[in-house]
Chain A
Amino acid sequence: MSRIIQVHDWIIPTVQSIHILAISAVAASALMINLRLLGLYAADQPLQDILARFLPFIWWPLIVLLLTGTVMIVGEPPRSLKNPAFQLKMTLLVAAIVTTAIYQRILRRNPAFVTTGGRAGAAALASVSMLLWVGIIFAGRWIAYYY
């Protein structure tokens, strides 16, 4: 499998392109949700509407990211598993998934989150979430420079 990916030199760039496109959907969706929590986007719309609109555009592309990411690991194992940038990326990813799961929980169970949870709490969560996704994108690029 690893050989196949290495022999066909169009596979890695193509899979990386799909990976970046999926990241685009995730990053922009997270941006919209987090801006809404910070009061900087669609303040006149209920938080629930924004979550319902954008959360699927985090979860579904995330599956694409895991699949394309796996192809990249199989194709170039030395470049990934022991790579510090890759390890950092995976750690940040786990944390980012936790923040996304919190948003999913808010969507399902707590329509009044922003008013009851307090604006400061919402803003803190949004800032952490956004920084995590930025960190993931940066760490992803740095994988290429650590092998």
Chain B
Amino acid sequence: MGLDQFLNWLQETPIAVAIREHEILFPWIESFHVLAIVLVVGTISIVDLRLLGLASRNRAVTALMREVLPYTWAALLVALITGSLLFSSNATKYAHNFYFEAKMALLAIAACNMAVFHLIGAGDIVRWDAAGKTPVAAKTAGGISLLIWIAVVVSGRWIGFTLH
């Protein structure tokens, strides 16, 4: 089965049809999607600003991550579920929308950035964990993350204006 065949099948599933045809379902799912995205971006920014050495400097990086990131992950899970539902309602159109494609690419880059930081950048974290000043690797990871999530929000908003 090719991609377009899959997308066609997806948007004809009962859930996708329901979201497309019941006027009230889409805005409700969208509301939860916006709430979830807002909390993902907001909470991850708290960690990013700490990695940049710009805020929460009196809190150890690992402690802050342990406290904040569970909420980021929970919100991300909600964003992925609601996002998939919204996508299914018009799968072929979304899949061919530039801003949707850009948003997915940005999410993949965000995941890579996080993986690189955890595997390499955070290797010597015990040495600077409690310090207000953070090393270049941490600043880079935090800065990239902040920029990517801003771009995710912007591209997400543009989908709504270009999906015709």
Contact = CB atoms under 8 A, between A and B. Distances in A.
- A and B: partners? yes
Interface stretch (B3-11, B28-36, B90-98): B28-36
B42 A137 contact: no
Contacts of B161: 9, 12-13
Contacts of B67: 41-42
A25 B42 CA distance: 5
Nearest to B72: A28
Interface string B15-49: 00000000000010011001101110111011000
A13 B157 contact: yes
Question: For the side of the interface on A, what is the size category?
Answer: 20 to 34
A13 B157 CA distance: 6
A144 B34 CA distance: 13
Given A42-B67, A138-B31, A138-B35, A17 B153 contact: yes
A27 interface: yes
A134 interface: yes
Contacts, number: 75
Contact of B31 (A17, A32, A42, A142): A142
Dominant secondary structure at the B interface: helix
A14 B56 CA distance: 29
Given A20-B157, A21-B150, A141 B42 contact: no
Interface of A: 9, 12-14, 16-17, 20-21, 23-29, 31-32, 35, 41-42, 45, 49, 53, 134, 137-138, 140-142, 144-145
